[in-house]
Amino acid sequence: MTSPDVVPDRLRDHVMRIAARLLALCLLPAAAVRAPGRARHTACQWALAVRFPAENLAGLTEATRAAFTSARTEALWRHGELIGLTSGHRDAATQHQLFAVEVRRTGSPEAARRRVLPPNESSHVRGTAMDVRPVQGARWLERHGNRFDLYRVYDNEWWHFEFLPEAGGLAPARLPHPGFGSVRRSA
């Protein structure tokens, strides 16, 4: 049986993919003027900024940002997939707040760490983590991200990717969840 809201969502995503790609195509000439030699890259970022107006790439490290924008340029032009940023860099205060909320929700710091890490351990605070959407975009990144040093690192978070140049193109072993294997006290 098909859930009634599944089909429209898929249809909407499909239409959005086509629309964003068309928009990127239309923006190519302007992008060629603005950034000679990087028209496809630039047009892709413009089109995705329209598709995902709330996204904010500020605060990602320069290398992380370059890897992410290059990856989604390839995703769009080669396979027609869109990759949007739900959450990138977070300042320590925001991360602390998220962690505190999760501690309250789950009842303990240990349980909270399965979903949210405290600021001193979070790669979002370091500017090297990206939560992406939609699911199809995340799947693309999971398959092709290694060429950009971008990897999914947790079994329980399909959306969370990290920039790990030290991995040398080989996906590191995936952890079941954030905080796995860590016994550090989460102050």
Contacting residues toward Zn ion, per CB under 5 A? 131, 160
Minimum Å gap between C-beta 121 and Zn ion is 12
Minimum Å gap between C-beta 114 and Zn ion is 13
Cβ neighbour number for residue 163 with a 10 Å cutoff? 26
Minimum Å gap between C-beta 13 and Zn ion is 21
Q: Which two tokens stand for residue 166?
A: 């030290």
131 CB-near residues (< 8 Å, 6+ apart): 85, 86, 87, 88, 124, 157, 159, 160, 161
Minimum Å gap between C-beta 94 and Zn ion is 12
Conformational region of residue 127, where left means phi above 0, alpha means psi within -120 to 50, and beta covers everything else: left
Q: In whole angstroms, what is the distance from residue 169 CA to residue 180 CA?
A: 23
Q: Would you say 42 or 137 has its CB closer to Zn ion?
A: 137
Q: Would you say 126 or 160 has its CB closer to Zn ion?
A: 160
Q: Would you say 121 or 131 has its CB closer to Zn ion?
A: 131
Residue 130 pairs in a beta bridge with: 161
Q: Which residue is nearest to Zn ion (CB)?
A: 160
Q: Would you say 38 or 133 has its CB closer to Zn ion?
A: 133
